[in-house]
Structure 1
Amino acid sequence: MRVQMLGLCRFSYVGLRGYQVEHQSYEERRAYLYDPERLERRWFWFTEIALPAWRAQTDPDFTLVVMTGPDLPEPYLSRLRDLAAEIPQLHLEPVPPMERHLAACRAAIAPHVDPSADVIGHFRHDDDDAVAVDYVEATRKDFRRVKGLWKNEGKLSLDYSRGLILKFEKGEMKLIPRICHNATAALTIFLSPDADETALNYNHSKLAQWMPGISVTRPLMFIRTVHGDSDSGDMGPGLPWQLEDDKLNRQLARRFDLRRQRLERLLRN
């Protein structure tokens, strides 16, 4: 059974719905998302937190669609085009503002669905989060173990719930080990290739309403950031777990291709 891994990452896409921070008009949303200082911060999170592990995936057979607006200010639109030319798995999809956010997401994803695949592993990826370097490989392997559930239902979620919260406030970076069930990072929704839905059609906190789900609590699989520009500004529900500082630093490097001292230095600047 062939699984296509297909993800959507929204980079400052101007749409009225689909976000927790609300605006009354496209103009308000555009002014908020395209603020020059905010864009520079988002670019930092995207390139320094999200991209390293995507570049280093142990299974390179995946597609990550980056959805943005065709009027994304320069130099960011050109930078995204350059990244798409550099990274084979990354595909840029400029989508005009649409009132219905799910339709906009579908418009971005649809050209990249492989109809010859047996199942599509849909995932959403926030531009300031990270997944581990073996996320794609592990997802395919674990799906093979539970594919009977997907065959019975036609829908299935697979959740890697052990992660780190990277909290940045008042100039200080904290890394907080946390088990979060059905957070957006490292959560995969398996659907058939002819389904009209993407991962964003399903509220990640209410997945049990629509499909069976598998939760895998090891290994460490995601980083979720919490900072001043976060759409959701708190850690949300979860369980603490312990990781000593020296082991945490090694895990950052091994699992996410990140270096703590470098991140702390960049965040101070």
Structure 2
Amino acid sequence: MSETIRVFAGDCTTTFEGARARTQRGRVAVVVKPDRTTLVHDADGYQPVAWLTRPDSLTVETDEGGFGLVARAGEQVLRVVSHESSGWVEYPVTEAGVPVGSHPDTGEPLVRAGGDVRGLDSDVRYSLPAGATVLDETCESCGLPKIRAEAGDAFEICLDRSCESLDDAVRERFDGEWTCPDCGSPLRIIRRGGRLLAGCDAYPDCETAFAIPAGVVVDDCACGLPVFETARGRRCLDATCERFEG
């Protein structure tokens, strides 16, 4: 869901108290972001003449005579007082991301920002598996973009986990494929504590479990477990394996 950004403009005196203390006056635009970050811009260049990032507190007062802002972060204080106001406005804003298509039901743009794909006009959000890429193809069932995720193999599945589950795909491919090095029981694909694991079928008598890394199986380790090719290089399924020769 979008938040709002506020913009104030006018003839203002800006006072900053702190390590870079100074007082300036001019016709400026003051931008206040949803996280309270306050930036004062004049006519020159891209850098603000004064700013305070994510202050602990922010007070904004407006009336017919103009506006005033006070932002505080520890010993730092940013004050902006208008002498003549050109006005103030409020606009909806979202986190900017890489466009990855549109929502098939609402038509709203979808963007990838960090580890999520989000809708620009709603609170729609789909979390991505580690290392996943969003594809140009769309799901035949729901119309959302498909993703490519690596978890032992490369899987192309729907962005919406309720439509196609990465867990199910990995389970179908690897459940029981590997053997517990401690007791010889099959390793089952499970999700525990928010992580996808290969856990011993003898649990709780045997508590052996390994987090499945984002990568594909390319070889066998001397310990009997698979070797994964990941973004950081090759590694055994057991990240602490002493027999792995990378």
TM-score range, shorter chain: under 0.3
Higher helix content, 1 or 2: 1
Higher strand content, 1 or 2: 2
- Superposition TM-score, scaled by structure 2 size: 0.26
Structure (1 or 2) with the larger CA radius of gyration: 2
- Superposition TM-score, scaled by structure 1 size: 0.24
